[in-house]
Structure formats: C-alpha cells, structure tokens
Amino acid sequence: MKADVAENGSGHFWLRVDREDKKMGFFYNMDDKPVIKSEWQSYEFTGKVDADAQQIYFGGFLKGEGAVWADDIKLFERDNEGDNWRPVTIKNGGFETAGQNSNAEGWFTGPVEGYKYAVNLSGNNKILEITNNNSAAQPDPSSITITTSVNYKASPEPGKVANAQLGANIEAIIPIVLYCTTEHTYPAGSTENLAILRKEINAFLTNTELPIAWRSGWAMW
C-alpha cells in the first residue's frame, strides 16, 4: 500500500472476525500505524480466528483527502503457532480484473459521496485506487438505505435481528421482534434509571470533546 494524503489523512487496512450469536472476534484497522508514506510498502498483521468463527471480512479505506493505493492482497492461515503459514485464495487479490465502472471485480466499494474507486494501471500492474479531492465531501445520512432479506409476510422469531453494513467498521444491528407484555417490551424500562443515564450522558458531553461524525472512503475486500 501507499498513500498521498493531506494533513490528518491516512490509508487503512482492516480485518474483522464475526463469531456465532453476532459476537465479534478479532478486529484491527491499522489505527496505530496508518499508511501515510508515498512509497510502496508491505503491511501485515496477525490475529486469532475463533473456533466458532462464521465469517472473515477485510478491506481498506481512505480517511480524509488524498489518495491511497493497494495491490497484492494476501491472506494466510495456520493451525498452531510455529506451524508454516498456508495461503488462502482471495479472488482478484491483485486487482487485475476490473468490473463495471472500473471497480475491482469481486469487491464491494462505497459509495460515499466525494470518494472514487477504480482499478488503474501502475507500470505493468493493475492496482486499486481510492481518491478524495473534495474537502467539502461528506456522506449524506439521508442517502443511507438499509436493505434486508427479512420476509415480513412471515412471523419472525423473537430475537431476530436485521444487519446492515453502513460503512467501514460501522454495522447496524436492528431488532425485528422483541419479547413484550401487553404494556411494554421486555424487560420493563425504568424511568428513574433513564433519568440518571441522561444526566450522566449530558455531563459527559459537556466536559468532553467527542467526535460524533467523520468522513471516510472505503472498499470492502
């Protein structure tokens, strides 16, 4: 990977392990060592895949203005520490095949307003490029659409949830059916505890500089 970014901009690679019962396992997004250099460099990290792992998601994103490039994405596995690493096949890991609108075939990208994703030539190789040259570009919350495969004509079981990936490392988990009585959902809420919680949140927001919005362009790999 390499990057050409403005001040406070950076490129990132991330990987997340999803476990049974909507639990999250290993997660890393290079927050402690983002890509900011303009020379090609290899980046790697290791993590544990739990025995009950269901899916592994990985990808990259550009934070702020500039550009980030990626190529030759590889994944390896081993059973025990000390064993030799075995390569895991990744479809189009070298971005040699471009799909519709020059996006990388087999990869999911954006969309996020102001960011562009394309497979471009670099010498004799094809690479993935994510760019943003618009300082005013921000994701429009009103444009976010959540789609699910839930059949609302049927009666889902209590505890059923809908999942939607809203962005890099941002996932919505929405309950569809909740246990309830004739008067309220279960367990019953406490107005006293709610008042205490609101007071604590207001005090925290008053005394803390808390970022509540951000901008990023991302591609899921």
pLDDT tens across 153-198, in order? 556 666 677 777 666 667 777 777 776 766 766 666 677 877 887 8
| Annotated domain spans of the chain | 2-140+211-220, 142-207
Task: State the alpha helices, DSSP H only, in 83-174.
Answer: none
pLDDT band at 47; cut points 50, 70, 90:
very high
pLDDT tens across 54-80, in order? 989 888 889 888 999 999 999 999 999
Backbone φ, ψ for residue 129 (5° rounding): -125, 130
Residue 137 pLDDT greater than 90, yes or no: no
On whether the CB atoms of residues 93 and 107 are closer than 8 A, the answer is no
Residue 151 pLDDT greater than 70, yes or no: no
With 0.85 as the threshold, say if the pTM is over it: no
Residue 206 pLDDT greater than 90, yes or no: no
Contacts of 53 (CB under 8 A, 6+ apart): 17, 18, 19, 25
